[in-house]
Amino acid sequence: MADASHPAPPPTPGVPLSALLARADLGLRQIAGPRADADIHWVHTSEMADPEPYLLGGELLLTAGVHLDEAAGSGAYLDGYAERTVAAGAVALGFGIAPVHDAVPRALVAACDRYGLRLLEVPAGTPFTAVESAVWQAMTEARHRELTRIGDGQRALATAAAGPDPVPAVLRTLARQVGGWAAVSGPGGDGELAAAGPRPPAPARTAAARLARRVATQGGPAAASDTVAAAPSGAVAAPGDPAAPSDPPPDPPATHLAAYTLGGRAPDRTRALIVAAPPPDPAARAVVGVAAVLLSLLTGPYAEAADGGHSAALVRLLLGDGPADVAPLLKHPHWTVVHARARRGNEAAAATLAAGLGTSLVAPGDDAVRALVPAGREVTAQPGWTLGVSEPVPVSALPAGDAHAAAALRRAVAGRTPLVRHRSPGVGGTGGVAALVPPAEARAHAAAVLAPLDGTPALRETLRTWLSLHGSWDRTATALGIHRNTVRQRIARAAALLGTDPDDPDIRMELWFALGVRD
CATH number of the domain that 190 lies in? 3.30.450.30
Q: Across the chain, what does the average pLDDT equal?
A: 79
Is 209 in the same domain as 284? yes
Which CATH number do you get for residue 80? 3.40.1390.20
**Residue 240 within any structural domain of the chain:** no
pLDDT at residue 70, rounded to an integer: 54
> Is the pLDDT reported for residue 191 higher than 80?
no
Region of poorest pLDDT, from 38-47, 302-311, 325-334, 474-483: 302-311
Is 417 in the same domain as 396? yes
Is 457 in the same domain as 416? no
State the burial class of residue 510 (Cβ atoms within 10 Å of its Cβ: 0-12, 13-18, 19+).
middle
**Residue 157 within any structural domain of the chain:** no
Is 418 in the same domain as 448? no
pTM of the full predicted structure? 0.48
Q: What is the pLDDT of residues 135-147, one digit of tens each?
A: 988 888 888 888 8
State the burial class of residue 483 (Cβ atoms within 10 Å of its Cβ: 0-12, 13-18, 19+).
middle
Torsion angle in degrees (nearest 10) through CA of 109, 114, 118, 122: -10
Is 195 in the same domain as 294? yes
CB 287 within 8 A of CB 174: yes
**Residue 319 within any structural domain of the chain:** no
Instruction: Give residue 115's identity as a one-letter amino acid code.
Output: Y
**Residue 320 within any structural domain of the chain:** no
pLDDT at residue 226, rounded to an integer: 78
Quote the CA–CA distance of 245 and 238 in Å, as a whole number.
Answer: 10
Strand-pairing partners, residue 363, are: 370
pLDDT at residue 353, rounded to an integer: 75
Number of H helices, E strands in the chain: 18, 18
Region 387-405 average pLDDT:
86
Angle at 87 between CA 85 and CA 90, to 5 degrees: 50
* Structural domain count, the chain: 4
Is 106 in the same domain as 11? yes
**Residue 146 within any structural domain of the chain:** no
Instruction: Answer with the residue of higher pLDDT: 427 or 508.
Output: 508
Mean pLDDT comparison of 46-60, 183-197, 309-323, highest-scoring range: 46-60
**Residue 510 within any structural domain of the chain:** yes
Is 363 in the same domain as 451? no
pLDDT at residue 310, rounded to an integer: 63
> Is the pLDDT reported for residue 2 higher than 90?
no
**Residue 346 within any structural domain of the chain:** yes
pLDDT at residue 91, rounded to an integer: 92
pLDDT at residue 237, rounded to an integer: 42
Is 167 in the same domain as 291? yes
62: left (phi over 0), alpha (psi -120 to 50) or beta: beta
Region 332-343 average pLDDT:
86
**Domain span holding position 276:** 163-230+254-305
pLDDT at residue 426, rounded to an integer: 47
pLDDT at residue 74, rounded to an integer: 65
Region 172-181 average pLDDT:
91
Q: What is the pLDDT of residues 51-87, one digit of tens each?
A: 888 888 889 999 998 887 655 556 788 888 999 899 8
State the burial class of residue 457 (Cβ atoms within 10 Å of its Cβ: 0-12, 13-18, 19+).
exposed
pLDDT at residue 42, rounded to an integer: 86
CB 363 within 8 A of CB 317: yes
**Residue 151 within any structural domain of the chain:** no
Region of poorest pLDDT, from 108-112, 304-308, 451-455: 304-308
Is 401 in the same domain as 486? no
pLDDT at residue 424, rounded to an integer: 66
Region 294-320 average pLDDT:
64
pLDDT at residue 17, rounded to an integer: 92
pLDDT-based confidence at residue 7 (cuts at 50, 70, 90): very low
> Is the pLDDT reported for residue 343 higher than 90?
no
Q: Whose CA is closest to 230, among 208, 200, 209?
A: 200
> Is the pLDDT reported for residue 224 higher than 80?
no
- One-character DSSP codes across 246-312: SSPPPPPPPEEEEEEE-S-S-TTT--EEEEEESPP-HHHHHHHHHHHHHHHHHHSHHHHHS-HHHHH
Instruction: Answer with the residue of higher pLDDT: 167 or 246.
Output: 167
Is 167 in the same domain as 301? yes
Q: What is the pLDDT of residues 226-270, one digit of tens each?
A: 777 765 544 444 444 444 444 455 555 678 888 887 865 555 567
pLDDT at residue 131, rounded to an integer: 93
pLDDT at residue 4, rounded to an integer: 44
> Is the pLDDT reported for residue 149 higher than 80?
yes
Is 299 in the same domain as 189? yes
